[in-house]
Amino acid sequence: MKTEVRLSGSGGQGMILAGIILAEAAGVYDGKNVVQTQSYGVEARGGASRAEVIISDEEIVFPEITRPDILLAMNQASVDKFLDSLKEEGVLILDSTQVKNLPVLKSRFYQVPITELAHKAGGGIVANIVALGALIGLTGVASERSLREAVLARVPKGTEELNRRALNLGLDGAKEILGK
């Protein structure tokens, strides 16, 4: 069982921190094998930066993602750039506050108002944490409990309550979509 996740957004949307938190939730707290990667350079430019996480029950031999199982797209450039890379049966999660030109429907395709929920939590800066809550709630790729531990271990001191609200709003958004 192996799941490849690509987190994409603009430079300021905190996708690298999101990647590290997801990796630590699955790797440190859930005890899976995880490789977390970010790339910089020519191909990384153009309004869509990304962080990648491979989560596996087995040892990870080839640590590069070619076609993700899960794509989080936090802005339009990310949808435009990375949608084609998603596996046929993959899951697309997009920030419906930011992405206005919706792609052709994929088999599993979720719209979550991530930025709007972040402002409700207390500020756009926690959009990445809302996104992680939504992603875990929708896909179960790490446990909710591990995600909580990983978030609180990584966010700056003094911002725990803000981040807890953001995480809960993301998780609740997922539950609403799934009708739980």
Applying CB under 8 A, the residues found at the interface with a second copy are 16, 20, 23-24, 26-28, 31-44, 59-60, 62-64, 156
Residue 107 CB, shortest distance to a second copy, in Å, is 29
Residue 136 CB, shortest distance to a second copy, in Å, is 16
Residue 15 CB, shortest distance to a second copy, in Å, is 12
Which C-beta is closer to a second copy: that of 41 or that of 179? 41
Which C-beta is closer to a second copy: that of 1 or that of 104? 1
Which C-beta is closer to a second copy: that of 78 or that of 97? 78
CB 39 within 8 A of CB 60: no
Which C-beta is closer to a second copy: that of 123 or that of 176? 123
Amino acid, res. 53: V
Tokens of 67: 């076609």
Q: What is the rounded CA–CA span in Å between residue 166 and residue 32?
A: 25
Residue 53 CB, shortest distance to a second copy, in Å, is 10
CA atoms within 13 A on the CB side of 167: 21
What are the Cα distances from residue 37, in Å, to 17, 71, 149, 172?
11, 15, 21, 28
Residue 56 CB, shortest distance to a second copy, in Å, is 8
> In this structure, how many other beta carbons lie within 10 angstroms of the beta carbon of residue 143?
14
What are the Cα distances from residue 176, in Å, to 63, 111, 138?
34, 12, 10
Question: How, if at all, do strands 108-112 and 91-95 pair?
Answer: parallel
Which C-beta is closer to a second copy: that of 117 or that of 136? 136
